[in-house]
Structure 1
Amino acid sequence: MVTTEVKAPRNGFATFLLVICAIALVAAALVRLLGIDGTRYMVATTSLTPYIAVLGLLIGLGALLRKRWVVGLTMTLVAVVLVANVVPRAFPDSRPNGVGQPVRLMTVNLLTGIADARFIVQEVRKRNVDILTMQELTPEMVRDLEQAGLNQVLPNKVFLDEPGGSGSGIASRFPLTARQLAPPGTLQQAGAMVDLPGKDIEVVSVHPLPPVVYAGPQAWQRELAGLPSPDSTGAIRVLAGDFNATLDHVGMTRLLNKGYVDAADQVGKGLIHTWPSNSGVWPPPVTIDHVLVDAKCPVDTVDVFDVPGSDHRAVVTQFVVPRL
């Protein structure tokens, strides 16, 4: 009697799904690794790089367990490359030695001026904030901040408040001089020279137009590119605010390559999300609020916390301005 072994047919639909996932992962990885911000959909995809990396790794390993070798190896290798780019943000870098003036800076998007002004001033007091940068600063919010006592703790200000979401401002414990540090854009981006003891710094309240608007990301690309580079011969510069960009976007990479460092990344908190603050399932939380400091400034601490009334979380960092 002759017996024949009948092999169970492979699940063709499961293989098809794995191939589709592999193609999507490779496409998303190429957009990120090649620095392509071509359309608003590409920009949105790049902002999800940490999620794509983890999901791709899990699916790739699952494919290997099911002996889909080509698809599994492709997805796993591509995901490992993405993970290698993302994971270092969760670990602190070595802090360079630096002696100088400690500065505590807080940045917050006020959501068209409806954030809780009393809470903001309370946090400024509690955290001993020296400089506050604000986006979406409205005339009504200026009034609310004054009533909450902001002038008592940060009496110096450069405010470009406007109705809606286009306003911007800087308040400081130290004297301020208004500076046009960023070219005119769709939204206001207040700039100022801060007269610190020993060494002045220049600060920009950053807020480029979001890249996912219907018109496309061109204005966002142009406004990110227009932000000032570090000044190697003059004042130290700090860019703080709602960049509408993650560290995976090419515009942010270019700024970092010019000589800035991301404060949260430096202390191992680069993966803590800042928008939306409610941490819901959709849209996936991403990190688009940043403080970029001159690489000569050692970063000590970074804290991220919710602000009642705003869909963005505030970022507070302490860094040291060296005496040069």
Structure 2
Amino acid sequence: MTITTDAPVTQPVRRRVRRVAWLVLLWLLVLPGTIWSLLRLGGLERGLMVQLFAFTPYVAAWSVVPVIAALATRRWLAGAVAAVTLALFAVVMLPRALADGDRGPRDGVTLHVMTSNMLFGNADPAEIVRLVRANDVSVLALQEFSPGGQTRLAQAGLGELLPYSSLGAEYGASGSGLYSRFPITNPGVRRNGGGFNQAYGTVQPPGAGAVVVESAHPLAPYSIEILGDWRDDLNAEPRADPAGLPRILLGDFNSTLDHAPLRDLIGSGYRDAADAAGAGLAGTWGPYDGGPLPPVTIDHVLADERLGVGAVSVHEIPGSDHRATVAELRIPAA
């Protein structure tokens, strides 16, 4: 009697199936990051990718995993593609974590500025005032600035530190405020296309030249249907004007450095202060309402390239889903 077995046949087949399955899985790990990096470098985010691009730093961090997996299993082609993908992300991300060698003038008058989104005016006024005092803030920009928030800030003593203001408080998320230690000339409030107020004015610290300051708050890309309006709001933000006064835009831009419209705005002649100071990966928004979203960086201080940038820090504000950003700027002497 002859006994036959298919074990010698099926074992090689199973090994081949496992190898193919692993190869497919490996490419599924590699290719999404590769496509993401190419879209990011090309400024080609569209549709749902606009919202997802806010989380690009996390995708960049994940891109290390496919490199290790491919090289550990000697899948050289996949490893090469994964390594190139990692390098592309590094080119974009590492500068944000490293202070720039050229951060503008080092001399001049130091001006500390701060921006904070108050979440419908519910942010803790005492903490905002404490941060203003502790960080020697001379100019404060507020978004989602409500009449109630304005009253509570006054009660907390903000007016004693920053007695001058240009205010456009409103209920809901559309209000805007600008406070200053120094007199504000040409104050005003404009409403952008997305329906948010943007308070502005000209400030001249003693011994320094005048600067125009504006509390920025473009529309958020909360749905695919309004992405055109989101882009229009960012495109309508004041560009830097080398022939005019230096300008500081600070606030909740509802976009990160991985969004092309914000990069275009910065490219007109601004520096992102956090990026220049090596703090460009510090999250400023989220998790929203206690949800699981990881923090992203959508609050910015954009300083005219004629101004210098010093240290930048980010601070928790109870009652708000945003963190406040404080930046040290240097204004050339008058």
What's the TM-score once normalised by structure 2's chain length?
0.89
Match of 1:48, SS?
helix
1:62 aligns with 2:69: yes
1:131 maps to which of 133, 139, 148: 139
User: 2:283·2:296 contact (CA, 8 Å) conserved in 1?
Assistant: yes
User: Residue 159 of structure 1: CA displacement?
Assistant: 0.9
Distance 1:280 1:217 in 2: 25
Aligned to 2:130: 122
Distance 1:281 1:184 in 2: 29
Q: CA RMSD in A?
A: 2.2
User: 2:116·2:142 contact (CA, 8 Å) conserved in 1?
Assistant: yes
User: 1:57·1:80 contact (CA, 8 Å) conserved in 2?
Assistant: no
Distance 1:269 1:96 in 2: 16
> Aligned AA for 2:156?
A
- Where is the helix percentage greater, Structure 1 or Structure 2? 2
User: Residue 22 of structure 1: CA displacement?
Assistant: 2.5
1:254 aligns with 2:261: no
User: 1:182·1:226 contact (CA, 8 Å) conserved in 2?
Assistant: no
Match of 2:153, SS?
helix
User: 1:31·1:46 contact (CA, 8 Å) conserved in 2?
Assistant: no
Aligned to 2:204: 195
Match of 1:190, SS?
strand
Alpha carbons of 1:166 and 1:35: their partners in 2 closer, same or farther (altered >3 Å)?
Answer: same
Distance 2:31 2:243 in 1: 48
User: Residue 281 of structure 1: CA displacement?
Assistant: 8.2
User: 2:104·2:305 contact (CA, 8 Å) conserved in 1?
Assistant: no
Per-residue CA deviation, residues 248-279 of structure 1 (Å, 9 max, x unaligned), is: 11012112211100111111111111111689
User: 1:109·1:136 contact (CA, 8 Å) conserved in 2?
Assistant: yes
1:20 aligns with 2:28: yes
1:144 aligns with 2:152: yes
Aligned to 1:267: 277
> Aligned AA for 2:53?
T
> Aligned AA for 1:130?
S
> Aligned AA for 1:169?
G
Aligned to 2:325: 315
Aligned to 1:285: 295
Distance 2:225 2:278 in 1: 35
User: Residue 183 of structure 1: CA displacement?
Assistant: 4.8
Aligned to 2:84: 77
User: Residue 179 of structure 1: CA displacement?
Assistant: 4.2
Match of 1:133, SS?
strand
User: Residue 184 of structure 1: CA displacement?
Assistant: 4.5
> Aligned AA for 1:127?
N
309-318 or 77-86, which deviates more = 77-86
> Aligned AA for 1:307?
I
Per-residue CA deviation, residues 182-214 of structure 1 (Å, 9 max, x unaligned), is: 854421121211133331111111111111335
53-62 or 230-239, which deviates more = 53-62
Alpha carbons of 1:104 and 1:60: their partners in 2 closer, same or farther (altered >3 Å)?
Answer: same
157-166 or 64-73, which deviates more = 64-73
> Aligned AA for 2:314?
V
The structure with more radius of gyration = 2
> Aligned AA for 1:266?
A
> Aligned AA for 2:322?
H
1:208 maps to which of 182, 199, 218: 218
Gaps of 5+ in 1: none
- How many residue pairs match? The answer is 320
> Aligned AA for 2:236?
G
Distance 1:204 1:86 in 2: 27
Alpha carbons of 1:166 and 1:181: their partners in 2 closer, same or farther (altered >3 Å)?
Answer: closer
Alpha carbons of 1:178 and 1:141: their partners in 2 closer, same or farther (altered >3 Å)?
Answer: same
Aligned to 2:251: 241
Alpha carbons of 1:180 and 1:162: their partners in 2 closer, same or farther (altered >3 Å)?
Answer: closer
Match of 1:312, SS?
coil
Paired-residue identity, %: 37
What's the TM-score once normalised by structure 1's chain length?
0.92
Distance 1:24 1:286 in 2: 20
Gaps of 5+ in 2: 1-7
Distance 1:184 1:113 in 2: 21
Match of 1:291, SS?
strand
